[in-house]
Amino acid sequence: MSKAVYIATIEPNSGKSIVVLGMMRMLLGKVAKVGYFRPIIDDPREGEVDNHINTVISHFELDINFKNAYAYTRSEVLQKYNQGKSGEIMDEIIRKYKNLEEKFDFILVEGTDFSDEGSIIEFDINVIIAKNLGIPAVIVASGIDKKNKEIAANLKLAFDTFSSKDVEVLAIVANKVDQGGEEQLGSYFDKDFNKDVERIIIPKVNSLINPTIREIVNELDGKVLFGKEYLNNQAGSFGVGAMQLRNYLTHLKDNSLVITPGDRADVILGVLQANISDNYPKISGIILTGDIIPEKSILKLIEGVSLSFPIVSVPSGTFSIANKIGAIKPKIYLDNLQKINTSISIFGTYVNEDRLADRLITFESEGLTPRMFQYNLLRRALQHKKHIVLPEGSDERILRATSRLLESGVVDITLIGDDKKIKNKATTLDIPIDFTKIQVISPTKSPYFDEYVQTFYELRKHKNVNLDMAKDMMADVSYFGTMMIYKGHADGMVSGAVHTTQHTIRPALQFIKTKPGANVVSSVFFMCLEDRVSVFGDCAINPNPNAEQLAEIAISSSESAAAFGIEPKVAMLSYSSGTSGKGEDVEIVRAATAIVKEKCPGLKIEGPIQYDAAVDMKVGKSKLPDSEVAGQASVLIFPDLNTGNNTYKAVQRETGALAIGPMLQGLNKPVNDLSRGCTADDVYNTVIITAIQAKGL
């Protein structure tokens, strides 16, 4: 039984980081504790650490000490070989791997980078390491500047080499393949590989093969004069600004990196103006060559301009710098979340993760960790892409979540608000949003505005609403967004980052209405604690529910838990456990528990029960020894809003738990309310659960 996989490449710049990031995300969604190991790393620059290890450990918050995540640097390996101590190399690699194996359920092992292109033994070293660790491999090859037949032949040769050393190859990956040739490449794979080998084809993605300005600065030892906050801009193309400005402007392309001598004030100022003009493409950065800093008057002018890209000074000449930039191979760094998220999304798009995971993971992981829960949310939302409307389109958190949602490809998005203001806000905050992929609507300018007004009037005229009132209502972003759902122009809505809960929910109650049989709209939070996910309800809607309402909240919450993969064990919380307590409040909980037992006789439920007895096995068994719920409750129902709201916030703040929600229950179509103190991550997660609700629980 394998508890690890070896990611190997056969050449430099294969883009195996996409595979490593995607597989790490996949594994964390399936296995509770995942480790990461690199047998051999490149020699880091002085004062730096290995970028691969730093990115993976930090981004995925793995509990691994950096020094335990690798065995040797490249120079140390060469030294050992020269000393005739090659046996020591493998002994140390195995020792370090085994130490991690004792601590983790599964380990992703990443092979060498082939950064020394002259090395002829590196491929063999990877084969030998995989064989000695006794783990299967995934082989990655690049499709850059190769024909499909050559890609297939290279992978077949690598496959045969691993197989000849008794290393099982689970999958072969052709990365950076020219779009349009996938079908032909797939036919070659069908001839060369049997059906037991996963055959993965990932097309070339420009946003991943272009270097960032930060990478260019590092390679050129550049000095950033302006715009340090924009170093993650990607250089989509680059060109030398040596001709007169009127001629050079015609050569600008989207995300162009401008290379020009530092004394060319005309080019510098012309490019600054072109970047803010609607008639020219956006600029990713300016490289000033020759170690020439612009004159003080020019620097002062630049300081007064709102920049959206860096300006960097470098020591070498213009054409020397252009050649060096052309030779830079892009990497993925920890602080470039856009590239990380794009890589993970691309992997999920082109890889059958469930099938690959079934081959990799030959054991069943115990329990449901927060990472596994979030992974499952994302996978479910991706299965049926839904359209979610966000009425607070100009809020920074909404924009940052929108950017991440687009990178994940998980939903279609409509932002409500002024188109120009929203785009300017995103540019000012350097939030990368491709506005060609989303819809931005100003209610009164929408072609549906009059239709929505008429519909609202027909729905509410029995409440003495006239057409003028309906028009005023439809100009409100919450009413307009809710009407989009009602009319089928969107599948769900998330709001509340700026507006109150009442403002968000009132339109839904007026014309979305409750589901058949539902008398109460309630809410749950998915509380992602360190080692489990619990459902808290109701923490956002109902101030003082009576017994019947509390019972309905419990039933709805248990159904929500089951729908999201959490086995419902319901604790009806109170200030006493079992039959010990008396008083009006505890009697409401006791009555609600009885109602639930009558309506849902198969549901595991306990109440009244105190919080500690519900979640702590030792306390639970001491107070209620015969209970199926005590000590292991997964659904915790609070007796009132005061208790629930304060408890979820206390748990969230004091433990660092991620609180996903609130997710509303009982409405015909999903409308979910955010806290005004929410983060961009909260928005992202709430949109995903809204999309899953829209699919139908």
pLDDT in tens, 517-570: 888 889 999 998 877 889 998 988 889 999 999 999 999 999 999 988 889 999
- Determine the Cα–Cα distance for residues 447 and 636; give it in Å rounded to an integer: 45
Tell me if domain 213-326 and domain 522-666 are identical in fold: no
pLDDT-derived band at 12 (thresholds 50, 70, 90) equals: confident
Instruction: List CB contacts of 239: < 8 A, sequence separation 6 or more.
Output: 248, 251, 252, 253, 256, 257, 258, 259
- Determine the Cα–Cα distance for residues 131 and 2; give it in Å rounded to an integer: 12
606 contacts 632 by C-beta, under 8 angstroms:
no
Q: Could you give the C-alpha distances from 626 to 412, 534, 608, 617, 622, in angstroms and in order?
A: 49, 22, 14, 12, 10
Residue 61: CB atoms within 10 Å: 8
Does the pLDDT value for residue 277 go beyond 90? no
| 3-class state of residue 170 by DSSP | strand
Map tokens 């996963």 to a residue. Answer: 198
Map tokens 């469930």 to a residue. Answer: 354
Label the pairing between strands 169-177 and 137-142: parallel
H, E, C per residue of 481-534? HHHHHHCCCCCEEEECCCCCHHHHHHHHHHHHCECCCCCCCEEEEEEECCCCEE
Q: What is the pLDDT of residues 236-273, one digit of tens each?
A: 777 787 777 877 788 788 888 888 888 888 888 888 88
Kindly state the DSSP code that residue 667 receives in the 8-state scheme: B
The per-residue pLDDT for 118 is 46
- Determine the Cα–Cα distance for residues 122 and 112; give it in Å rounded to an integer: 8
Map tokens 């047998």 to a residue. Answer: 39
Does the pLDDT value for residue 490 go beyond 90? yes
Q: What is the pLDDT of residues 606-630, one digit of tens each?
A: 989 999 999 999 998 888 888 889 9
The per-residue pLDDT for 117 is 52
425 contacts 402 by C-beta, under 8 angstroms:
no
Question: Could you give the percent of the chain with pLDDT greater than 90?
Answer: 37
The sign of the dihedral angle between the CA atoms of 115, 121, 124, 130 is negative
Q: What is the pLDDT of residues 147-200, one digit of tens each?
A: 989 999 999 999 999 999 888 999 999 999 888 778 888 888 888 888 889 999
Q: Which amino acid type is present at position 14? A: S
Q: What is the pLDDT of residues 22-69, one digit of tens each?
A: 999 999 888 888 999 999 988 887 777 888 899 999 999 898 999 999
Q: Where are the alpha helices (DSSP H) in 165-205?
A: 182-192
Q: Which amino acid type is present at position 218? A: N
What is 370-512's CATH number? 3.40.50.10950
- Determine the Cα–Cα distance for residues 227 and 288; give it in Å rounded to an integer: 14
Mark residue 513 as left, alpha or beta (left: phi above 0; alpha: psi -120 to 50; beta: remaining). left
The per-residue pLDDT for 249 is 80
Closest to 538 (Cα-Cα) out of 609, 672, 643, 676: 643
170 contacts 108 by C-beta, under 8 angstroms:
no
Q: What is the pLDDT of residues 329-339, one digit of tens each?
A: 777 777 777 78
Q: Class of 4-206+338-360 per CATH?
A: alpha beta
Kindly state the DSSP code that residue 679 receives in the 8-state scheme: -
The per-residue pLDDT for 220 is 85
Instruction: List CB contacts of 383: < 8 A, sequence separation 6 or more.
Output: 695
Does the pLDDT value for residue 234 go beyond 80? no
Question: Could you give the percent of the chain with pLDDT greater than 70?
Answer: 98
When pLDDT is averaged across residues 593-608 and rounded to a whole number, the result is 92
Q: What is the mean pLDDT of the chain?
A: 87
Number of H helices, E strands in the chain: 28, 23
* Domain ranges within the chain, ordered by starting residue: 4-206+338-360, 213-326, 370-512, 522-666
| 3-class state of residue 415 by DSSP | strand
Instruction: List CB contacts of 63: < 8 A, sequence separation 6 or more.
Output: 33
Structure tokens of 537?
């309800």
Does the pLDDT value for residue 475 go beyond 90? yes
Instruction: List CB contacts of 64: < 8 A, sequence separation 6 or more.
Output: 35, 36, 57, 100
Residue 270: CB atoms within 10 Å: 21
Structure tokens of 137?
């491999």
**Which of 116-130, 275-289, 637-651 is modeled with the greatest confidence?**
637-651
Quickly name the fold that domain 213-326 has.
Answer: 3.40.1390
Helix, strand, coil percent content, the chain, rounded in steps of 5: 45, 20, 35
- What architecture (CATH level 2) is domain 522-666? 3-Layer(aba) Sandwich (3.40)
Q: Where are the alpha helices (DSSP H) in 327-415?
A: 337-350, 353-360, 370-383, 396-408
| Residues forming a β-bridge with 237 | 256
